[in-house]
């Protein structure tokens, strides 16, 4: 949309998500995007996507595509954009030139070496590092000399040396900064690209952004932005600085807490609906009790008043639980459809592809009840697909003697070989009474059969599992288990 057409009513909510492609979007980035999107949708406003790609040196290949894919995956559709700041450089240069001409900014010719030396000395003197305003006070003759030398300057803002800068934060109330703590920050770099401080101010103004909802790490930068708005004679938007996300140990969220890029959660088999629900509750709540909310319910109730002022705590266990709930809510057809790509990638290579659809569909109801993520499905269901099971003979025995186990398997094989109908009810009718006949506890007897048939001590319900596997495969596995015990006993 052309900027000339962006004039909106003051009551119109217009928010933006403005990621930098210097890395892949992580939980914090996407939580910010989600809160902006929810605020726009709740208020019937607009959600604008802007890519802040002016830090060319640090840009990560593929990051822009990953940002867009992540938003699409989560259903965070944008109403305008994506705008790219790299395509708007001329606008920022014009604003920077205007500030210099009006005496509100100045050209700085200091070399990186001088700046680094200055910072080292400040640190040694235990002073807060910051620009010493050397070029702010250059005489005209010296400035002319530097210009003639061919040095490409940066543009710095003339921060006031005294007084205070204040603003109202929608979450935190009145915030006041002493101007003496602010440095003369860079607006335009020597490569011609703007810094965040300049570009985001210019774009927020021209795109008529009404509310800036961003991470609280930007709180200390806000007085700079307020001063820029004042220098340019522009009305600033309303600000809300969102609480940070901490790990379970209350430390800053990092990879060890699970703070991987958001696309990794997709690869690990989390559903977008579960991620939206989970992320919405990282700093916002409906009533401090309700945990499962549909997207429409969150939109309906979302408000800034319900956003916490304190840090949110990331809980991976809660995310897994929530994702499991959402997985169980899928229809069997949908669960199977989403699980098959994970099975194709995750099952052993010797299993023939493509997987047989009818057989796979029979397995999925048994797995759907247990899976917390789609990435778990191959491991949970592998024994349904492989020809040979690998397990230690000690798993077969558990709390049963060798001779008892051999006798139990022999009797089971004999009974099952004579079974006419291989279905769950018939299997239970034959096998359940055998525990008493063998003088074994039911759990011990069924545990023996479970390991023999699945290679595991925990699996979906035994008789349902046996029905899906079929008589031929089950009997073969029981005979293999009997042979393992016989070799172990007499070998």
Phi, psi of 89 (to 5 degrees): -60, -35
Q: Are strands 154-157 and 186-188 parallel, antiparallel or unpaired?
A: antiparallel
- Give the separation between CA 450 and CA 454, rounded to whole angstroms: 6
Place of tokens 């699945």: 454
For residue 77, give Cα distances in angstroms to 34, 36, 67, 478.
10, 11, 12, 54
- Give the separation between CA 358 and CA 363, rounded to whole angstroms: 9
* Partners of 155 in the β-ladder: 107, 188
- Give the separation between CA 331 and CA 408, rounded to whole angstroms: 39
**Residue (of 184, 163, 166) closest to 174 by Cα position:** 166
- Give the separation between CA 257 and CA 377, rounded to whole angstroms: 23
Cis bond upstream, residue 161 (ω within 30)? no
CB burial class (10 A; 0-12, 13-18, 19+) of residue 136?
Answer: middle
Place of tokens 């998500």: 17
Place of tokens 């860079």: 186
Written as six digits, the tokens of 84 are: 């790219």
Supply the DSSP string of 231-282, one letter for each residue: HHT----EEEEEPPEE-TTSSBP-GGGT--BHHHHHHTT--HHHHHHHHHTT
**Residue (of 396, 491, 403) closest to 447 by Cα position:** 396
**Residue (of 369, 255, 272) closest to 316 by Cα position:** 255
Sheet holding 211-215, edge to edge: 173-178, 164-169, 238-242, 211-215
Active site residue 255: yes
Asked if residues 206 and 6 have their Cβ atoms less than 8 Å apart, the reply is: yes
Q: What residues contact 476, with CB distance under 8 A and at least 6 apart?
A: none
Place of tokens 């034959």: 430
- The catalytic residue among 252, 255, 309, 399 is 255
Active site residue ranges: 255
């Amino acid at each position: 949309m052309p900027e000339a057409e962006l004039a909106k009513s003051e009551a119109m909510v217009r928010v933006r998500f403005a990621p930098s492609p210097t890395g892949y979007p992580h939980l914090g980035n996407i939580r910010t995007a989600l809160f902006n999107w929810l605020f726009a949708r709740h208020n019937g406003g607009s959600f604008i996507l802007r890519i802040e790609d002016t830090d060319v040196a640090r840009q990560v290949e593929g990051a822009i595509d990953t940002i867009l894919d992540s938003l699409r995956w989560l259903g965070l559709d944008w109403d305008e954009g994506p705008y790219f700041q790299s395509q708007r450089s001329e606008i920022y240069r014009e604003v920077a030139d205007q500030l210099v001409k009006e005496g509100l900014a100045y050209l700085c010719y200091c070399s990186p070496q001088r700046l680094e030396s200055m910072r080292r000395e400040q640190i040694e003197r235990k002073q807060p590092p910051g620009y010493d305003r050397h070029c702010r006070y250059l005489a005209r003759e010296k400035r002319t000399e530097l210009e003639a030398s061919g040095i490409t300057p940066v543009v710095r803002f003339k921060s006031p040396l005294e007084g205070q800068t204040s603003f109202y934060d929608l979450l935190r109330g009145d915030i006041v900064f002493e101007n003496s703590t602010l440095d003369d920050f860079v607006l335009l770099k020597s490569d011609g690209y703007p810094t965040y401080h300049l570009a985001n101010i210019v774009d927020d103004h021209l795109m008529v952004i009404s509310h800036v909802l961003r991470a609280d790490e930007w709180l200390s930068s806000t007085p700079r932005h307020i001063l820029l708005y004042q220098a340019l004679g522009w009305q600033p938007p309303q600000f809300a600085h969102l609480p940070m996300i901490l790990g379970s140990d209350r430390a800053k969220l990092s990879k060890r807490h699970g703070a991987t890029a958001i696309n990794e959660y997709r690869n690990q088999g989390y559903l977008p609906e579960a991620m939206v629900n989970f992320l919405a509750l990282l700093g916002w709540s409906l009533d401090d009790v309700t945990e499962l909310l549909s997207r429409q319910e969150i939109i309906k109730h979302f408000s800034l008043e319900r956003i916490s002022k304190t840090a949110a705590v990331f809980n991976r266990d809660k995310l897994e639980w929530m994702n499991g709930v959402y997985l169980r809510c899928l229809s069997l057809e949908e669960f199977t459809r989403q699980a098959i790509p994970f099975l194709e990638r995750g099952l052993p290579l010797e299993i023939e592809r493509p997987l047989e659809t009818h057989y796979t569909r029979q397995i999925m109801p048994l797995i759907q009840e247990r899976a917390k993520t789609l990435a778990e499905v191959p491991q949970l269901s592998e024994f349904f697909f492989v020809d040979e099971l690998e397990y230690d003979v000690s798993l077969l025995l558990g709390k049963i003697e060798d001779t008892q186990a051999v006798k139990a398997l022999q009797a089971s094989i004999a009974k099952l070989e004579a079974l006419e109908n291989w279905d769950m009810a018939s299997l239970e009718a034959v096998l359940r009474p055998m525990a008493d006949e063998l003088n074994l506890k039911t759990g011990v007897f069924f545990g023996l059969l479970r390991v023999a048939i699945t290679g595991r001590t925990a699996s979906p319900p035994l008789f349902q599992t046996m029905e899906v596997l079929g008589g031929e495969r089950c009997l073969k596995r029981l005979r293999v288990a009997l042979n393992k015990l016989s070799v172990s006993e007499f070998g």
